[in-house]
Amino acid sequence: MGKHYRLPARDGQSQTFQALQGLSLDLYPGQTLAIVGESGSGKSTSLRIALGLEAPSQGHVRFDGQDITNLSWKQFRPLRQRIQLVQQNPFASLNPSFTIYQSVVEPLLSFGLRKGDALKQAARQLMDQVQLPASYLDRLPRELSGGQRQRVAIARALALRPELLLLDEPVSALDVSVQAQILDLLRSLQAELGVAYVLVSHDLAVVQSLAHEVVVLRQGQVVEQGLASQLLHQPAHAYTRELLDAIPGHRYCA
């Protein structure tokens, strides 16, 4: 799969920018696939394609056997019950004027799946899943810490019982101690629900704690791909070794 963008013509010649090239991924229920790389490596482009916000210039995207490459927004909408996103910044991802209850049940209301007491019960269950007290449902986002807000964002993403969660740098805005708690939560949710994750991150320490398979991107190209247990301990590419060397205290087998 690849993605290129047209650039303004220069000296009468058309130009393109290759944002992604040669990406090939398979993901199964209960597994985590991590896409790793620095800023500009093609991670965000990969996510936008997975969300149906952009179509690839080459190749196809399939979900549960269905080709979803060129679906319109209306055609893609039913899939949004099955594919959900957890964004990077918990301070910006929640509507500041919504109570936590309103944020959590918003997807259920949007798809007309719950109402009345059933909606309230669903909200309490979701809060329990992310290990927050139901009493927080009456609060506003500003009354919660960053880690608590990210738990709310995860609860909202789980409201529709998706099969796939796209995690866009889900802990990069949090303190290290809080990062560990959110990663523990994501692991337990995956074990409980069997949900698949695509984790986008520049931080291999985060990837190491969650991923089953890793794809390393650099300037839009795959430089290394394989099982996390092997790639993170015996990296074959110098760029992967550079990323690993950035992890404090990390050691790998040469």
Better-predicted residue by pLDDT, 212 or 7? 212
Residue 48: other Cβ atoms inside 10 A:
16
Q: Could you tell me if 223 and 214 are in contact, meaning their C-beta atoms sit under 8 angstroms apart?
A: no
Task: Tokens for 88, please give them.
Answer: 């990077």
Q: Predicted confidence band at 253 (pLDDT cuts at 50, 70, 90)?
A: very low
Where is mean pLDDT largest: 73-82, 103-112, 169-178, 241-250?
A: 103-112
Query: 12-26, 85-99, 228-242: which has the minimum mean pLDDT?
Result: 12-26
Q: At what angle do helices 100-110 and 146-158 cross, to 10 degrees?
A: 20
pLDDT score for 254: 44
Better-predicted residue by pLDDT, 228 or 3? 228
Q: Predicted confidence band at 250 (pLDDT cuts at 50, 70, 90)?
A: low
CA distances from 54 to 18, 34, 184 (A): 14, 20, 32
Q: What is the pLDDT of residues 43-96, one digit of tens each?
A: 889 988 888 888 888 888 999 889 998 888 889 999 989 999 999 888 888 999
pLDDT over 70 for what percent of the chain?
Answer: 97
pLDDT score for 82: 95
Q: In a 10 Å sphere around its CB, with 0-12 CB exposed, 13-18 middle and 19+ buried, how is residue 111 labelled?
A: middle
Domains and CATH numbers, the chain: 21-82+162-254 (3.40.50.300), 94-161 (no CATH)
Beta bridge partners of 106: none
Alpha-carbon gap, residue 60 to 69, rounded angstroms: 5
Q: Predicted confidence band at 40 (pLDDT cuts at 50, 70, 90)?
A: confident
Q: What is the pLDDT of residues 134-156, one digit of tens each?
A: 999 999 999 999 999 999 999 99
Q: What is the mean pLDDT of the chain?
A: 90
164-168 and 83-86: which strand pairing?
Answer: parallel
Q: Which of 49, 55, 59 is nearest to 70 (CA)?
A: 55
Beta bridge partners of 213: 33, 227
pLDDT at 107 over 70: yes
